[in-house]
């Protein structure tokens, strides 16, 4: 029953005394040859063996995920276990999924929960993930997180860097030939204003001159983006 709930085949109607009900997906299974997969339960001996071999998560991520689960449950007006059981949260802590494919491999995650919760839990895991030594250049690490759907603010928090630095990393990736639309960060109107400033600041020696020209209302990273686009 728990597996069917997790996969969205059954739901709990709390308005009718927590009665189990069939979902539209259940009708597909019953009448349209829709197939689902259920886990085979282990015997007690198998459980003891697998428990002995299992890796123990070494981070404190579980508590962060538990609090996130509680917030979601309160917003939806349901018990926390309806969102995810503790076993699922511990599996997330162990596997630390970075995308939907990896999230689908977490215990207790079916298609319904993937669509509902993957994005918010993946982002929570990504922002908590401790910094690890990597052979990748720092701007490559930033771009990997950006490609996974994190915002600049979230990447800055996860990597303990300033947003200005993160924007610089993205610009560097573009300069290296990455197909990255920088216009999502600076508008055509802003580029035009920066172009006008450039024509007036003929003796400018750095970004500070532009920052003061715009009365400190345009951030340094955006000025840098605009000048880069004008010179490209």
Measured distance between the N- and C-terminal CA atoms of the chain, rounded to whole angstroms: 59
199 occurs within a structural domain:
yes
95 occurs within a structural domain:
yes
Q: What is the pLDDT of residues 142-152, one digit of tens each?
A: 998 899 888 99
Q: How many CA atoms lie within 13 A of 9 on its CB side?
A: 18
50 occurs within a structural domain:
no
53 occurs within a structural domain:
no
pLDDT for 223 = 92
Cα gap 129→121, rounded to integer Å? 12
Domain count within the chain? 4
Q: Which residues contact 79 (CB under 8 A, 6 or more apart)?
A: 73
Q: What is the pLDDT of residues 174-195, one digit of tens each?
A: 999 988 888 899 899 999 999 9
Q: What is the CATH number of the domain that holds 77?
A: 1.10.150.80
Backbone angles phi, psi at 132, to 5 degrees: -120, 150
Q: What is the pLDDT of residues 96-141, one digit of tens each?
A: 898 999 999 999 898 889 999 999 999 888 887 654 555 788 999 8
Give yes or no: residues 175 and 191 share one domain: no
Give yes or no: residues 191 and 204 share one domain: yes
55 occurs within a structural domain:
no
Give yes or no: residues 175 and 192 share one domain: no
135 occurs within a structural domain:
no
Residue 19 three-state SS: strand
Give yes or no: residues 174 and 203 share one domain: no
22 occurs within a structural domain:
yes
Q: Which residues contact 131 (CB under 8 A, 6 or more apart)?
A: 159, 160
92 φ/ψ sector (left φ>0, alpha ψ -120 to 50, else beta): alpha
Average pLDDT value for residue range 13-34: 82
Give yes or no: residues 65 and 113 share one domain: yes
Q: Find the domain containing 37 and state its range.
A: 2-45
Give yes or no: residues 147 and 191 share one domain: no
Residue 159 three-state SS: helix
Give yes or no: residues 189 and 176 share one domain: no
Give yes or no: residues 172 and 188 share one domain: no
Give yes or no: residues 114 and 75 share one domain: yes
Query: Environment class of residue 165 by beta-carbon count within 10 Å: exposed (0-12), middle (13-18) or buried (19+)?
Result: middle
Predicted confidence (pLDDT) at residue 203 exceeds the cutoff of 90 = no
Give yes or no: residues 66 and 115 share one domain: yes
133 occurs within a structural domain:
no
Predicted confidence (pLDDT) at residue 50 exceeds the cutoff of 90 = no
């Amino acid at each position: 029953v728990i597996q069917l709930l997790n996969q969205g085949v059954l739901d709990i109607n709390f308005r009718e005394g927590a009665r189990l009900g069939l979902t539209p997906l259940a009708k597909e299974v019953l009448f349209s040859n829709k197939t689902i997969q259920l886990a085979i339960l282990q015997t007690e001996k198998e459980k003891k063996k697998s428990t002995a071999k299992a890796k123990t998560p070494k981070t404190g991520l579980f508590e962060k995920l538990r609090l996130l689960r509680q917030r979601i449950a309160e917003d939806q007006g349901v018990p926390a276990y309806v969102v995810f059981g503790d076993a699922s949260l511990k599996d997330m802590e162990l596997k630390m999924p970075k995308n939907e494919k990896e999230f689908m491999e977490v215990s207790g995650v079916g298609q319904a929960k993937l669509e509902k919760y993957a994005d918010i839990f993946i982002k929570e895991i990504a922002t908590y993930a401790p910094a690890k030594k990597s052979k990748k250049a720092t701007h490559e690490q930033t771009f990997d997180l950006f490609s996974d759907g994190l915002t600049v603010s979230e990447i800055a928090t996860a990597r303990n860097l300033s947003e200005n630095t993160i924007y610089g990393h993205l610009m560097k990736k573009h300069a290296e030939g990455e197909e990255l639309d920088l216009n999502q960060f600076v508008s055509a109107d802003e580029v035009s204003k920066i172009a006008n400033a450039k024509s007036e600041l003929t003796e400018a020696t750095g970004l500070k001159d532009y920052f003061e020209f715009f009365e400190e209302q345009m951030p340094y990273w955006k000025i840098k983006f605009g000048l880069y686009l004008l010179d490209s």
